[in-house]
Amino acid sequence: MLKSKTFVKKTRKGGVLKVVREHYLRDDIWCGSAACGGCPQDRPVLEAEPEIDSTLCGFPHYLIPDTNVVLHQMDVLADSAIRNVIILQTVQQEVRHRSGTTYQRLRDQSNNADKHFYVFTNEHHRETYTEREQGESSNDYNDRVIRVATRWYNKHLQENRKDGDTPKVKVVLLTNDRENREKAQKEGLLAYTVHQYVKALKGNPELVDRLAQVDMGESTDSDIKNEATGRVLFPEHLPLSQLQTGIKSGRYLQGSFMASRENYLEANVLVHGDDSRSIFIQGHAHLNRAVNEDVVAIEMLPEDQWKCPSSMVLQDKDGDEETSEPDLGSPKGRSNAIPSGRVVGVIKRNWRPYCGVLQPSGIKEATRHLFMPAERKIPKIRIETRQAESLQGQRIVVSIDGWPRNSRYPKGHFVRKLGEVGDKDTENEVLLLEHDVPHQPFSQAVLNCLPSTPWGITKEDLACREDLRDIPICSVDPPGCTDIDDALHYVEKPNGNIEVGVHIADVTHFIRPNTALDQEAANRGNTVYLCDKRIDMVPELLSSNICSLRGKEERFAFSCIWEMTKDADIVSTRFCKSVICSKAALTYAEAQMMIDDKNRNDPVTVGLRGLNALAKILKKRRIDAGALTLASIEVRFHVDSETHDPIDLETKELRETNSMVEEFMLLANISVAKKILSDFPSCAMLRRHPQPPPSNYDILIKAGKSKGVDIETDTSKALAVSLDQATIPGHPYFNTLLRIISTRCMMQALYFCSGTLPESDYFHYGLATPIYTHFTSPIRRYSDIIVHRLLAVCINADKSYPDLLDKYKSQALCNNLNFRHKMAQYAGRASVELHTQLFFKNKVTEEEGFVLFVRKNAVQVLIPKFGFEGTIFLKSQDGRGEDSPFVFNEEESSQTAGEVKLRMFDRVVVQITVETSHIQHQKLRIRLVKPQVPGFTVPPVDTSNSAEPPVKKVKT
């Protein structure tokens, strides 16, 4: 029974509601110290003889940080030099309340046995419970609670020493609050600021750099004392309570702050709860120190102050603290103005550590430096470091600590060094970090979950699976593919119908729920493909061997088998776990050759032909239903086998067989989606693709009009038809460009859990199917693993487990998968960009390109051969292009210079070089060659480059 006293805590919530809660005090909470002989604890967390060399505290001691220390100095606490720390429950709760990410990091620390972090539940301990006094502010109360606990620890450790020999362990309170520190010292406690403590540590000089720069402790936060300029550059943020009442009353709106990639002075705020509503923000004062991804409160501006996006590409170039804003141009036509607002406060910061480089500083000994993040949406960060010299030319990680009103840039501190700029491994690391891709090698716990090798199929396995080893199954994949997760078969049945099977690697046989392997895979979400590297979701043994459906090897599969008529009408569908033996692992090209080779008539070839014929019917049917054929360009690098530098690149080719495999995968996915939804209406994992709001298509319609083509966007069917018809004689690439633009109009497809949305939202717009899921790639997508498990439960092949049927957990998982999926795409693109840069290093190339967008001071050009787009600046960046010959016409979005007019879809020739003048931040530079504009274009280099734009990959 409880050995506890009952206390009643009263709190007021909302208006008049009185909340009465019980608060039990216990006498069985131990101190967690190995030096203590009094507490009957099993495994003390804190070491008996903590050692840390310090000039300030030269005796064994434990640390107790207060809330602000944890919140701001997590980087210091996370350092391996800091060990034996007592985290009070009061502190932990407060941290949890204030910052989710810091709280997560704190938890990681306490779960790390080497760090010896002990969480002491002081508020339920009989001797450290403190009641709040009348009129005591919550800050004062928390400070007092922390002091009480510190005092208790000192007394407790002194009284309960294990034996005489062990040294006396003391407890040191770390607080940057002067008042608290003085009170503590008056009570006879040891209390220091973090800065005092860290500076006194011997042998860890680099820790000093990690100290966060905010609130040096002594400065009150009421009004910032302006250090240098004395100017206040930003309006004040409103307090949270005011924001909340404002949001409730509708005066302010809450939303996610999305900085513009093109223009650092512009941003959009996506209003929460109304996905389609986006508010435009422009200018320093209106942006008001919000950083990308923050949750902010905004106030709408009156309609006569609405702005329109400047259609200007703008980068924050100079590092001075000037506030002068380039003229963004007040919109002439009011009609263009869009709902605009200003940021009045930040509800939640979503800062993370950022990768980037130091901006070179003129003065060598300076300790204050500007840091340039790799992500363009993030502002530069001011940091203080004494090792600037050694950091030049290095990729480093920096965290933001705060953004005072008088500072042009946020303030931050150095976290760690990644490696040299331009080095491929460093750059890969940067892009993985920036996209939050988990890429550490698999832990031992994960590897322990793998089946032992050599692995073989046992009799028991065969007993519960269908034996399909005799059926002519084959797989068709891109060349060099080692993670083959799908295979097909085609057999004519005696009754004239056809049996078609899709066999998917049975990954869930090996990845059991809630194992370390499963958790790791769920966290990774998917395999990330970089140009020269694959970040696997599951260890290689599974992905490339046991699960991979290799040719002529017996493998477990999850099969989806249809009986179809010759006209591809499905008669029946059946799912089963099976054992298969693929007769051949083909590439797309090989399969195509087999189909085309009239002399071959073996079962596999016959099957391929049959599948191909069916696929054509299926595809036609799908397109008739309104499925979209969109385009994007994918390139493949030929990598030098020794240096691993790209030596050539080609765009991916598409054959009939690609589409053949794809059709059956789509069919399998749709069949599975129907099955799991009917059996699990509230917890099936599906994939939806919402129809984009009509405004998304504006740019596409405008683009079409500029060439006299009408694009219908009412339904996906109408869009598909009008895209098909949109061709211009003599401009073979026009259609592809249009499709590329329409791809950008689309919404993201998303995973979701069926119970969380109305059924009408299940729709997949791009595929024009009412329901869809992912079933066919369990080796590289975690969503498919969940779908496999659900399907296995449907057919009684496997047991369910709690989390599988919990729709909230499923939805949380979906959110992670969506995030990982998005990040994987971005990382892939960033990798291509990086390789493109490496490819063009020390080269001057001329290539054909097409104008994709015309901006106020630039044009964006797509170079099909290399599948990337670049920006040609036509004017200097501040937009006051006196020196530029180009004149911008907003109405027809064109740039004119004398006789030359640049419009959308115009063909140009550009010269591509890598800009090396700026070693810190290499980028591709694109300059116009044709059409020639005197004084602007560069002379053509004498190279012959007349490759036709290659065939585009069709994306569905």
Chain residues in the site for other proteins (CB under 8 A):
1-2, 4, 6, 8, 17-26, 89, 92-93, 96-97, 100, 103, 107, 110-111, 119, 121, 123-124, 800-806
* The pair of three-digit structure tokens given for residue 167, joined into one six-digit string: 């040294």
The torsion region of residue 879 among left (phi > 0), alpha (psi -120 to 50) and beta comes to left
CA dihedral 868, 872, 877, 879 (to 10 degrees): -120
**Minimum gap (Å) between residue 356 Cβ and other proteins:** 28
Dist. CA 699–CA 853, nearest whole Å: 9
- Count Cα atoms within 13 angstroms, Cβ side, for 473: 32
Provide φ and ψ at 294, rounded to 5°: -65, 155
Count Cβ atoms within 10 A of the Cβ of residue 655 and give its class: 0-12 exposed, 13-18 middle, 19 or more buried: middle
Dist. CA 94–CA 75, nearest whole Å: 18
List 414's β-bridge partners, or say none: 398
Degrees to nearest 5, angle at CA 945 with 942 and 946: 135
Q: Minimal CA–CA distance to 783: which of 764, 757, 810?
A: 810
Tally Cβ neighbours within 10 Å of residue 165: 6
User: Is 297 or 397 the residue whose CB approaches other proteins more closely?
Assistant: 297
- Residue 133 is classified by DSSP as P
User: Is 123 or 477 the residue whose CB approaches other proteins more closely?
Assistant: 123
Dist. CA 923–CA 914, nearest whole Å: 6
Beta strands in 498-569 (DSSP E): 498-505, 528-530, 533-535, 554-564
**Minimum gap (Å) between residue 19 Cβ and other proteins:** 6
User: Is 123 or 846 the residue whose CB approaches other proteins more closely?
Assistant: 123
Provide the H-helix boundaries in 747-806.
782-794
**Minimum gap (Å) between residue 6 Cβ and other proteins:** 6
User: Is 100 or 732 the residue whose CB approaches other proteins more closely?
Assistant: 100
**Minimum gap (Å) between residue 25 Cβ and other proteins:** 7
Quickly list DSSP for 79-128: STT---EEEEHHHHHHHHHH-HHHHHHHHHHHH-GGG-EEEE-GGGBTTT
List 466's β-bridge partners, or say none: 578
User: Is 68 or 871 the residue whose CB approaches other proteins more closely?
Assistant: 68
User: Is 110 or 406 the residue whose CB approaches other proteins more closely?
Assistant: 110
User: Is 7 or 59 the residue whose CB approaches other proteins more closely?
Assistant: 7
Question: Strands 381-384 and 368-373, how do they pair?
Answer: antiparallel
Tally Cβ neighbours within 10 Å of residue 751: 25
* The pair of three-digit structure tokens given for residue 257, joined into one six-digit string: 């702050």
**Minimum gap (Å) between residue 294 Cβ and other proteins:** 16
Q: If residue 871 lies in a helix (H) or strand (E), which one and from where to where?
A: strand 868-873
Dist. CA 540–CA 874, nearest whole Å: 49
**Minimum gap (Å) between residue 17 Cβ and other proteins:** 5
**Minimum gap (Å) between residue 756 Cβ and other proteins:** 14
User: Is 8 or 113 the residue whose CB approaches other proteins more closely?
Assistant: 8
**Minimum gap (Å) between residue 146 Cβ and other proteins:** 17
**Minimum gap (Å) between residue 273 Cβ and other proteins:** 15
**Minimum gap (Å) between residue 99 Cβ and other proteins:** 8
**Minimum gap (Å) between residue 736 Cβ and other proteins:** 46
Q: Minimal CA–CA distance to 293: which of 400, 394, 446, 383?
A: 400
Start-to-end Cα distance in the chain: 63
Dist. CA 552–CA 448, nearest whole Å: 28
Provide the H-helix boundaries in 326-473.
388-391, 424-434, 444-448, 459-463
**Minimum gap (Å) between residue 377 Cβ and other proteins:** 24
- Residue 39 is classified by DSSP as S
**Minimum gap (Å) between residue 301 Cβ and other proteins:** 30
User: Is 20 or 113 the residue whose CB approaches other proteins more closely?
Assistant: 20
Dist. CA 580–CA 225, nearest whole Å: 73
**Minimum gap (Å) between residue 96 Cβ and other proteins:** 6
List 890's β-bridge partners, or say none: none
**Minimum gap (Å) between residue 255 Cβ and other proteins:** 17
**Minimum gap (Å) between residue 177 Cβ and other proteins:** 23
- Residue 436 is classified by DSSP as T
User: Is 92 or 669 the residue whose CB approaches other proteins more closely?
Assistant: 92
Distances (CA, A) of 464 to 264, 467, 627: 60, 9, 39
User: Is 19 or 647 the residue whose CB approaches other proteins more closely?
Assistant: 19
Note the residue count of the chain: 956
Tally Cβ neighbours within 10 Å of residue 242: 15
User: Is 514 or 727 the residue whose CB approaches other proteins more closely?
Assistant: 514
The torsion region of residue 233 among left (phi > 0), alpha (psi -120 to 50) and beta comes to alpha
Provide φ and ψ at 433, rounded to 5°: -65, -45
User: Is 93 or 932 the residue whose CB approaches other proteins more closely?
Assistant: 93
* The pair of three-digit structure tokens given for residue 710, joined into one six-digit string: 């009408």
User: Is 121 or 756 the residue whose CB approaches other proteins more closely?
Assistant: 121
User: Is 107 or 707 the residue whose CB approaches other proteins more closely?
Assistant: 107
**Minimum gap (Å) between residue 348 Cβ and other proteins:** 9
User: Is 295 or 747 the residue whose CB approaches other proteins more closely?
Assistant: 295
User: Is 36 or 538 the residue whose CB approaches other proteins more closely?
Assistant: 36
Q: Minimal CA–CA distance to 383: which of 372, 402, 364, 369?
A: 369
**Minimum gap (Å) between residue 350 Cβ and other proteins:** 12
User: Is 67 or 89 the residue whose CB approaches other proteins more closely?
Assistant: 89
Dist. CA 814–CA 803, nearest whole Å: 13
Q: What is the 3-state secondary structure (H, E, C) of 359-411?
A: CCCCCCCCCEEEEEECCCCCCCEEEECCCHHHHCCEEEEEEEEECCCCCCCCE
Dist. CA 348–CA 899, nearest whole Å: 52
